[in-house]
A and B are shown apart, each in its own frame.
Chain A
């Protein structure tokens, strides 16, 4: 039953992810990316992680991508000229490095797939994935990483403000 829902969503995600790469217009790419994020949210729901799914929509699809669209429209980016594609291939070293990294990640994914069977999970406790459980975990077991991450975000925010301001007063 779960596989019946999983495969269409996963297929859609992969198709949209390819759409992000092959689309020549920046807005088209951005739309595909939004669609893919919604698909990922669907997969999170399938894994009983409702809270994570909703956060995926709010943060990535709802906030970050709106900013992306805003910037794309503000700069009024046109379709990528075909000449740009030729110049990319010159950088052989970076191409090989990214290729090696990608193969490494793919190997790991295949490895995981063969270890864990894509079957319905064992019975989960009722509180699994609820807001209360996740909140409790964040503020007890994972409080240090949580606070460090928030500090990092604050630093990034202040950095962005400093960079954007032409003159500090």
Chain B
């Protein structure tokens, strides 16, 4: 009982450390460097401590200091309570999703089965979907409570965009569920031990549509109409400053990690190395004993998992700095007239193929 609680506690700490402690701050730096490289600039390199810049990594500390010390501004006529809680409503769902995301398989450590997921829910995939849809309120309320027309426009765009792309996302997931026959993310991950059963090969159309829909859900370029700087100042967070503004940014970066993790699990073989099953790996390190070999394989597979996540983050960043912003009507057209019929067709084709193969 106490051991299980302790293990769960460690897993929660690990997830929090890697998302809030590592990815969220480091990605602010990666985003700048990536844009600098793609635009042939040097990029963030000015913040220094005693002359050392360490590739501009000190910009993270400078950013944090700036956000903590800035004035926390609430505009006149704004709804104070809602204005304050909306950044929290935006961040919490992004973090909560990780409760069901497995970042490794099942290992025998010190005679105990350890499953590298905080909560192995039977409805895991639906949980991710449900929690992600709750994040909408953070953005919608933020724009409304600011008492600013630009903000209100931004939140209207957020609401319409997120509703539209949630439909596509949900229908794409149906295709994945039909192929794997389970909503448990651990089961879906375990099935992909076989390289030829990776979601990428079984659901190629689903993969592309899921990527598009999830970038739209995260409101990043080319789908960043809710915060289009050239049209509506900064959209829903125009009236935010200091740490509250920082929380919106943190939510965006954590959501990038979440998208990467979910895509890795659904389409990219989760924590598996192609053609190398967990049993083979443990066999290689058999001379270390059961616990030793399991521990080593666990570290390798967690590393593989996060390497894949980092690949998807890189992909999202590259897309963000390559494509221009779509127009509002183009986004709606893409969502309802192209992606929705395609995702329905995807379900139909998947169903037919499964029927024929059985």
Decide: B156 and A57 in contact? CB cutoff 8 A.
no
Is B123 touching A50 in the complex (CB atoms < 8 A)?
Answer: yes
Please tell me which stretch of A63-71, A97-105, A112-120 contacts chain B, meaning at least 4 of its Cβ atoms lie within 8 angstroms of it. A63-71
Residue numbers in B under 8 Å from A25 (CB-CB): 79
Q: Is A62 an interface residue (CB 8 A)?
A: yes
Asked whether any CB of chain A lies closer than 8 Å to the CB of B300, the reply is no
Q: CB distance B163 to A66 under 8 Å? A: yes
A31 lies within 8 A of chain B by Cβ? yes
Q: Are B156 and A73 in contact (CB under 8 A)?
A: yes
Contact check, B159 vs A58: say whether CB atoms are below 8 A apart: no
Residues of B within 8 A of A54 (CB): 123, 126-127, 130
Name the distance in Å between A61's Cβ and chain B's nearest Cβ: 6
A130 within 8 A of B: yes
Asked if B144 is an interface residue, CB under 8 A from chain A, the answer is: yes
Cβ–Cβ contact B133 & A73, under 8 A: no
Query: Given A62-B136, A70-B160, A131–B144 Cβ distance below 8 Å?
Result: no
How far in angstroms is the closest Cβ of chain A from B80?
12
* B156: contacting residue among A58, A61, A70, CB under 8 A: A70
Q: Are A69 and B140 in contact (CB under 8 A)?
A: yes
Report the minimum CB–CB distance from A96 to chain B (whole Å): 37
Contact code string B52-88 (vs A, CB < 8 Å = 1, else 0): 0000000000000000000000000001001000000
Chain A proximity of B355: nearest CB distance (Å): 15
**A40 contacts the other chain (CB 8 A):** no
What residue in chain B is nearest A131 (Cβ atoms)?
Answer: B183
Cα distance A58–B183 when bound, in Å? 15
* Closest A residue to B163 using CB positions: A66
CB-CB under 8 A from A74, the residues of chain B are: 156
Whether B162 and A66, one on each chain, are in contact in the complex, defined by CB atoms closer than 8 angstroms, is yes
Q: Would A70 and B134 be within 8 Å (CB), given that A51-B123, A54-B126, A58-B126 are in contact?
A: no
How big is chain A's contact interface, by range?
Answer: 20 to 34
Q: How far is the CA of A73 from the CA of B79 in the complex (A)?
A: 14
Asked if A66 contacts B159 (CB within 8 A), the reply is yes
The one of A31, A50, A51, A62 in contact with B133, judged by C-beta atoms closer than 8 angstroms, is A62
Q: A67 to B163, Cβ gap below 8 A?
A: yes
The secondary structure that dominates the B interface is helix
B127/A62 in contact, CB under 8 A: no
A51 to B124, CA, bound (A): 10
Q: A51 CA to B126 CA in the complex, in Å?
A: 9
Considering only CB atoms, which chain A residue lies closest to B85 in the complex?
A31
> Contact at B155–A62, with CB atoms within 8 Å?
no
Q: Is B122 an interface residue (CB 8 A)?
A: yes
User: Which residues of chain B are near A50, meaning CB under 8 Å?
Assistant: 121-123
- In the bound complex, residues from chain B placing their C-beta under 8 Å from that of A67 are 163
Residues of B within 8 A of A130 (CB): 122
Task: Give B165 Cβ to nearest chain A Cβ, in Å.
Answer: 12
Nearest chain A residue, comparing its CB with the CB of B129: A58
Q: Given A54-B123, A57-B130, A70-B160, A27–B136 Cβ distance below 8 Å?
A: no
B121 neighbours in A (Cβ, 8 Å) = 50
A17–B314 CA distance with the chains assembled, in angstroms:
45
A69 and B130 within 8 A (CB)? no
Which residues of B in the span 80-137 have a Cβ within 8 Å of any Cβ on A? Answer: 82, 121-123, 126-127, 129-131, 133-134, 136-137
Q: Which 9 A-B pairs have the closest CB atoms?
A: A62-B133, A57-B130, A58-B130, A54-B126, A70-B159, A54-B123, A130-B122, A54-B130, A50-B123
Given contacts A57-B133, A58-B129, 11 further A-B contacts (CB under 8 A): A27-B82, A34-B137, A54-B126, A55-B126, A58-B130, A61-B134, A63-B163, A66-B163, A69-B144, A73-B140, A73-B144
Q: Can you list 14 A-B contacts (CB < 8 A)?
A: A27-B82, A51-B122, A54-B123, A58-B129, A58-B133, A62-B133, A62-B134, A66-B137, A66-B140, A66-B163, A69-B140, A70-B160, A73-B155, A131-B126
